[in-house]
């Protein structure tokens, strides 16, 4: 029986081999471990792993490459029969047959408390299986590298992580009265609310301790919260910039490689140890804290597979399937040195912005459930628990924003078009102490207002005078004293 130190070294070597789906040579390994380990020691470790069936050698001499034997020796033993998450049409979760998704019993109202107090999501039986596995100790979960077969098994518009009945329910929940308007209209209408909610909730999932109220003050007034470090403040502000990038000009932010690169550059600004890593495909190997998953290490492979992921995502027609696909495969690939999950959460909103569907804010999402769902993808290539999180999160977002949108008054485009003329007319009449009336207003209308629109413009001015008071007179460039003088002396 090998000593404990030898066992640990063997596990380290096994993990190193598992990182490389195309195999690794002795020279590659030597570059990682020399000069601490001689080539003879390295070869002895590799031979021990081969004899235990944990890796295999292919080729001869200098051309020998070592591969993890994932199929020959399963990396984990499950107490259940694993179901494939990528069948053509997976069975719907147990609640997918109802006409609308039931309200989550675990949901709590958003407030200034930490999002970490959010209760665990309602899970399907399949999600519970994933949860049970990832809640085992790390030592009980066997290391596993990136499985290209997981991606290859997915065929856009033929494979579905979300069954049709569920997609139809989500569409009913998320559709808005602005469905036939230009892309981004819905998100723009609720932008102020979305900036706060999504910036706060997504940051909380990364351990940020800003409260929702702190986030609101920072975004609206630029006031950093007392006692918070610059890193947390920067994270919130980066979210704001990235959300605005997606919403304010949707035409420049489709589902594409360029959009994801831009999102990473915005979300990682000022937060990376190496500034060159912002908006750049990862150039080095990374580990996932708390997980036995080992992402790809070679930049060329990352860039190539990243391109495949985004090409497949762009081909997906259904906005909910497209959104969830991005939530699954961007973190799984880990194309960037850091900030991958944040990128995936904002990328998941691209289809909703483009289709004028309710955006996904992640309000009231349990960090534990979210992390467990991500681990299920990393270590099992199973999407069921993350799907449960996605469903719960989207349902909660719809409760927040569809109701808000229905209460919004449609913008008056006529008023917007004549805003400057309106301001000029209101200010001129107040300063002239003129009593509002059709004749008085006609005398102060600027020449740039077309003749055929003047009658309607007069009605607009009369309506504005009905709601004019000292508090809102500033909208027309008037000081409170000017308003009070007009109120007392208008003739």
What does the pLDDT read at residue 315? 96
> Which residue do the tokens 């990182």 mark?
19
Assess whether the region 4-68 and the region 115-407 belong to the same CATH fold.
no
What does the pLDDT read at residue 178? 60
What does the pLDDT read at residue 333? 97
User: For 106-159, what is each residue's pLDDT tens digit?
Assistant: 222 233 333 346 789 899 999 999 999 999 999 999 899 999 999 999 999 999
For residue 411, how many other CB atoms are within 10 A of its CB? 9
**In the chain, which residues have pLDDT < 70?**
1-8, 18-22, 31-37, 69-117, 177-180, 402-411
What does the pLDDT read at residue 114? 39
Give me the residue spans of the domains in the chain: 4-68, 115-407, 413-489
Number of residues that make up the chain: 491
Contact 350, 253 (CB under 8 A): yes
| Structure tokens belonging to residue 330 | 């961007």
What does the pLDDT read at residue 349? 96
Determine phi and psi for 109, rounding to 5 degrees: -70, 140
Alpha helices, DSSP H, located in 177-318: 185-189, 191-204, 212-221, 230-248, 257-268, 299-315
d(CA 452, CA 44): 91
Determine phi and psi for 391, rounding to 5 degrees: -65, -50
What does the pLDDT read at residue 80? 27
What does the pLDDT read at residue 180? 63
> Between helices 319-333 and 164-174, what is the axis angle to 10°?
110
C-alpha distances in angstroms, 10 versus 20, 33, 44, 167?
A: 16, 13, 10, 46
Contact 422, 459 (CB under 8 A): no
381 Cβ contact list (under 8 Å, min separation 6): 85, 147, 150
Give the fold, CATH level 3, of 115-407.
Fic-like fold (1.10.3290)
Is the domain covering 4-68 a CATH 1.10.10.10 domain?
yes
- State the burial class of residue 318 (Cβ atoms within 10 Å of its Cβ: 0-12, 13-18, 19+): buried
What does the pLDDT read at residue 232? 95
What does the pLDDT read at residue 92? 39
What does the pLDDT read at residue 224? 92
The CA dihedral of 443, 445, 448, 453, to the nearest 10 degrees, is -110
What does the pLDDT read at residue 124? 92
């Amino acid at each position: 029986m090998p000593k404990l130190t030898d066992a640990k070294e063997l596990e380290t070597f096994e993990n190193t081999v598992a990182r490389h789906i195309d195999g690794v040579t002795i020279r590659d390994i030597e570059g990682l471990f020399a000069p601490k380990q001689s080539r003879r020691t390295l070869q002895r470790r590799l031979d021990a792993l081969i004899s235990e069936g944990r890796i295999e050698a292919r080729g001869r001499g200098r051309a020998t490459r070592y591969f993890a034997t994932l199929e020959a020796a399963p990396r984990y033993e499950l107490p259940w029969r694993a179901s494939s998450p990528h069948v053509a049409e997976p069975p719907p979760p147990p609640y997918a047959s109802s006409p609308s998704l039931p309200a989550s019993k675990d949901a709590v109202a958003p407030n200034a408390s930490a999002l970490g107090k959010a209760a665990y999501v309602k899970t399907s039986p399949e999600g519970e299986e994933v949860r049970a596995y990832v809640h085992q100790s790390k030592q009980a979960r066997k290391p596993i590298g990136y499985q290209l077969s997981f991606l290859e098994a997915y065929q856009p518009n033929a494979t579905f992580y979300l069954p049709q009945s569920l997609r139809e329910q989500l569409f009913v929940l998320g559709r808005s009265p602005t469905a036939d308007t230009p892309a981004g209209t819905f998100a723009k209408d609720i932008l102020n609310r979305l900036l706060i909610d999504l910036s706060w909730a997504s940051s909380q999932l990364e351990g940020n301790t800003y409260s929702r109220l702190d986030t609101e003050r920072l975004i609206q007034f630029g006031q950093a919260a007392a006692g918070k470090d610059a890193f947390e403040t920067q994270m919130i502000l980066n979210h704001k910039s990235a959300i605005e990038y997606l919403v304010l000009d949707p035409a420049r932010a489709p589902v594409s490689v360029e959009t994801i690169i831009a999102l990473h550059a915005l979300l990682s600004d000022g937060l990376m140890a190496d500034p060159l890593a912002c908006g750049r495909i990862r150039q080095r190997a990374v580990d996932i804290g708390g997980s036995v998953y080992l992402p790809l290490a070679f930049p060329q492979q990352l860039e190539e597979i990243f391109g495949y992921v985004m090409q497949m995502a762009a081909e997906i027609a259904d906005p909910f399937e497209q959104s969830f696909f991005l939530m699954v495969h961007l973190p799984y690939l880990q194309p960037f040195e850091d900030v991958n999950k944040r990128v995936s959460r904002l990328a998941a909103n691209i289809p909703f912005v483009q289709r004028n569907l309710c955006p996904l804010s992640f309000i009231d999402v349990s960090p534990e459930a979210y992390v467990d769902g991500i681990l299920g993808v990393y270590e099992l290539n199973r999407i069921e628990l993350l799907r449960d999180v996605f469903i719960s999160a989207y349902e909660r977002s719809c409760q927040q924003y569809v109701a808000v949108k229905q209460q919004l008054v449609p913008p008056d485009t006529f008023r917007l078009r004549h805003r400057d003329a309106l301001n000029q007319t209101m200010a001129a009449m107040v300063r002239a102490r003129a009593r509002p009336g059709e004749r008085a207003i006609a005398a102060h209308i600027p020449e740039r207002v077309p003749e055929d629109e003047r009658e309607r413009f007069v009605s607009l001015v009369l309506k504005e005078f009905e709601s004019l008071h000292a508090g809102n007179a500033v909208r027309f460039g008037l000081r409170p004293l000017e308003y009070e003088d007009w109120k007392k002396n208008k003739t």
